């Protein structure tokens, strides 16, 4: 109860107006670490994951693995997962409710034990988010699906490799089916697969575990099922959404950041968009760091979100904050989630001019935002409010920041190190 109250009562205070200058180091990718953690359910041998960020969603994933019977040891950014007691095949409501990615236990448990059940994740602030594409994929491999009292149960005596055609390149469904078909009998081919870097990372980890996966990162992925998988050690890729957030914070505050420990090519569309509007972006020869520098007034640019390599939905909110400050008009179209504009109303409370019509937001740049009390509706909306607070005149107080703790490691400290006046108050 006290922890819950604390969650609701913690706030971030920002005194805006300082251009960010200095060096920021990006953490490991949350959305890559999560499927990799759940992939360890596919083996009884020890797995070690490095560069795992210290985030609330990772805490939830580790609790779920422990609940299912794994021994999980976390030290700094390294997580060691070993077999404990025999595995349970049921993911409880309390953990699935906290994090939708918990549904990623279904594929590995089904493949390894022939049975898996989990509370069906409900909708969240950004959309309905069903898992029908995951379930029809499991059915193609021969699983029976049952839904009763909000719990989905999957059973299969044996999974058989098949051709699977996804209606939409869902990130989670691609990960779940990669994991399930890694232990299916025969060859599975996934058509219209998601192509996100997190899919490639998950496939690389599975291959280190002995899986035979080809084509991850393209629309068609081939998986030759194996009888069993072994333990492996893997380093999680850098978080491209955190990288994007710092690029946009540098642009909005008219600053200059050296962003380190990145994988620059994962942010290609954003880098091109920032260059088009007038920012200078330089990657080092190894693509492992980026310099992002403001040197002239920026121009507006329309964007449409889409599956990778298109503009990421997870960067749409932060881009909107930037556009509210660029002289002229721009249109932002959200094509992935049906309700991902809740940050627009909060930005308007800070003086932004945004009109939302269905899945499009029409933004007219203003000279300045002014500090206000604002509320966070989801993780990336939270990042958008932080960027707004960093540029706004005066004090911004951000409420419901527990969303931010799910996806940004040491956010205040990293921003303070580059000159932001930001603190968390309890």
Q: Are 226 and 211 in contact (CB under 8 A)?
A: yes
Beta bridge partners of 70: 83
- Binding track over 318-357 against ligand EPZ, x by CB under 6 A: ------------------xx--------------------
Q: Are 134 and 167 in contact (CB under 8 A)?
A: no
Select from 55, 106, 111, 173 the one that contacts ligand EPZ (CB under 6 A): 173
Q: Are 33 and 52 in contact (CB under 8 A)?
A: yes
Distance, CA of 302 to CA of 334 (rounded, Å):
11
379-391 vs 316-323: helix crossing angle, rounded to 10:
20
Number of shown-chain residues binding ligand EPZ (CB under 6 A):
26
Shortest distance in whole angstroms from residue 178 CB to ligand EPZ: 12
Distance, CA of 95 to CA of 140 (rounded, Å):
27
Shortest distance in whole angstroms from residue 366 CB to ligand EPZ: 26
Shortest distance in whole angstroms from residue 383 CB to ligand EPZ: 9
Shortest distance in whole angstroms from residue 406 CB to ligand EPZ: 8
Site for ligand EPZ in 372-401 (CB under 6 A): 379-380
Distant-in-sequence, close-in-space partners of 134: CB < 8 Å, separation ≥ 6: 103, 106, 107, 170, 172, 173, 176, 177
Should residue 317 be labelled a site residue for ligand EPZ when binding is judged by CB under 6 A?
no
- Binding track over 188-207 against ligand EPZ, x by CB under 6 A: ------x---x---------
Q: Which stretch binds ligand EPZ (CB under 6 A): 156-164, 169-177, 255-263, 288-296?
A: 169-177
Select from 19, 22, 127, 210 the one that contacts ligand EPZ (CB under 6 A): 127
Distance, CA of 389 to CA of 326 (rounded, Å):
16
Q: Are 330 and 353 in contact (CB under 8 A)?
A: no
Catalytic pick among 47, 124, 202, 292: 124
Q: Which of 28, 255 has the CB closer to ligand EPZ?
A: 28
Distant-in-sequence, close-in-space partners of 216: CB < 8 Å, separation ≥ 6: 178, 193, 199, 200, 202, 203, 204
- The residue ranges that bind ligand EPZ (CB under 6 A) are 31, 34, 100-101, 127-134, 168, 170-173, 194, 198, 313-314, 336-337, 379-380, 407
- Catalytic residue numbers read 124
């Amino acid at each position: 109860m006290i922890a819950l109250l604390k969650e609701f009562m913690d706030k971030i205070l920002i005194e805006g107006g300082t251009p960010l200058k200095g060096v920021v180091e990006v953490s490991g990718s949350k959305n890559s670490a999560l499927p990799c953690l759940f992939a360890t359910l596919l083996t009884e041998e020890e797995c070690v994951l490095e560069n795992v960020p210290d985030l609330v969603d990772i805490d939830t994933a580790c609790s779920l693995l422990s609940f299912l019977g794994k021994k999980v040891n976390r030290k700094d950014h390294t997580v060691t997962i070993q077999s404990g007691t025999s595995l349970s095949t049921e993911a409880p409501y309390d953990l699935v409710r906290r994090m939708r990615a918990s549904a990623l236990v279904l594929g590995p448990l089904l493949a390894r034990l022939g049975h898996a059940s989990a509370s069906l994740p409900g909708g969240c602030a950004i959309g309905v988010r069903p898992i029908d594409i995951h379930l029809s994929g499991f059915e193609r491999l021969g699983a029976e699906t049952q839904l009763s009292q909000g719990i989905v149960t999957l059973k299969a005596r044996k999974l058989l490799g098949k051709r699977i055609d996804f209606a939409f390149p869902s990130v989670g469904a691609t990960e779940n089916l990669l994991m399930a078909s890694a232990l299916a009998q025969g060859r599975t081919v996934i058509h219209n697969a998601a192509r996100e870097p997190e899919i490639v990372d998950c496939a690389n980890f599975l291959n280190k575990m002995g899986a035979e996966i080809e084509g991850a990162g393209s629309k068609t992925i081939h998986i030759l099922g194996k009888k069993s998988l072994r333990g492996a050690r893997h380093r999680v890729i850098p978080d491209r959404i955190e990288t994007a957030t710092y690029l946009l914070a540098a642009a909005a505050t008219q600053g200059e950041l050296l962003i380190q420990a990145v994988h620059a090519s994962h942010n290609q569309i954003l880098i091109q968009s920032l260059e088009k509007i007038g920012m200078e972006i330089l990657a080092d020869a190894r693509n492992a760091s980026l310099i992002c520098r403001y040197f002239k007034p920026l121009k507006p640019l329309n964007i449409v979100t889409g599956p990778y390599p298109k503009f990421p939905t997870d960067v749409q909110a932060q881009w909107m904050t930037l556009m509210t400050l660029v002289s002229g008009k721009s249109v932002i179209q959200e094509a992935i989630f049906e309700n991902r504009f809740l940050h627009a109303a909060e930005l308007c409370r800070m003086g932004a001019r945004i009109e939302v019509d269905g899945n499009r937001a029409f933004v007219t740049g203003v000279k300045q935002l002014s500090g206000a009390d604002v509320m966070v509706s989801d993780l990336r909306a939270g990042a958008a409010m932080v960027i707004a607070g960093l540029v706004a005149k005066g004090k911004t107080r951000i409420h419901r920041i527990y969303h931010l703790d799910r996806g940004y490691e040491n956010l205040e400290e990293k921003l303070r190190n580059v000159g932001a006046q930001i603190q968390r108050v309890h």
